[in-house]
């Protein structure tokens, strides 16, 4: 089973993804956590990391999105192997993230959907909505420093969530409350 977690940066996806992995392991499931982009897959991962943390985006948005898509394709054989072995894969920031950021930065949604159409589809997609933790912003991350862009991306995430039928998890006060809410969404699907 492939479960994806979506939402804007600095909303707590990584924390919740890791807590979900632990919870699934506690009930006897074999689980793999993947955060996209996968930075240690060359050449795409290091290139994307340099663009996002190099100060300024010096490639077109079309080109950048193709790098993100290629990164997902490069990891696809490994993803297929995990799923074929009966593991649950918790993926943070998968196809929907690329589409959301691309649209927020002016690209055509149909073009982005077409680029991603041969990737494995998720079995369950969950969109985190709520307040961003501004203290968690990476100083060198080109997207996280642009609050207006992140706000646009949140709107696009919401629109895509409706279009694709994503479940919605409201980030609650207190990490544990959000964790329990997420678990309630997932446990009926496993």
pLDDT, tens only, 72-92? 999 999 999 999 999 999 999
pLDDT average, residue stretch 138-165: 84
- In this predicted structure, what is the pLDDT of residue 21? 97
Cβ(123)–Cβ(163) below 8 Å: no
Distance CA 134, CA 136 (A): 5
| Domain ranges, ordered by start, for the chain | 2-187
Distance CA 44, CA 36 (A): 11
Buried b (16+ CB within 10 A) or exposed e, 164-188: bebebbebeeeeeebbeebeeebee
* Average predicted confidence (pLDDT) for the chain: 91
CATH class belonging to 2-187 = alpha beta
pLDDT average, residue stretch 115-119: 97
Question: Mind listing the pLDDT tens digit for each residue in 40-63?
Answer: 999 999 999 998 888 666 789 999
Is the pTM value of this prediction over 0.85? yes
């Amino acid at each position: 089973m492939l479960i994806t977690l979506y939402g804007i940066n600095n909303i707590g996806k990584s924390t919740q993804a890791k807590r979900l992995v632990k919870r699934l392991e506690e009930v006897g499931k074999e689980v793999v956590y993947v955060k996209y982009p996968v930075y240690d897959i060359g050449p795409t991962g290091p290139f994307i990391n340099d663009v996002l943390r190099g100060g300024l985006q010096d490639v077109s948005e079309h080109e950048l999105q193709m790098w993100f898509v290629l990164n997902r394709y490069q990891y696809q054989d490994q993803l297929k192997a995990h799923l074929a072995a009966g593991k649950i894969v918790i993926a943070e920031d998968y196809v929907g993230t690329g589409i959301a950021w691309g649209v927020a930065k002016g690209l055509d949604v149909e073009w982005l959907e077409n680029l991603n159409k041969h990737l494995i589809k998720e079995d369950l997609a969950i969109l985190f909505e709520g307040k961003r933790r501004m203290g968690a912003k990476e100083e060198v991350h080109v997207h996280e420093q642009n609050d207006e862009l992140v706000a646009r991306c949140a709107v696009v995430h919401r629109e895509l969530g409706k279009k694709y039928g994503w479940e919605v998890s409201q980030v609650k006060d207190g990490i544990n409350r959000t964790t329990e809410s997420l678990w309630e969404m997932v446990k009926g699907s496993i």
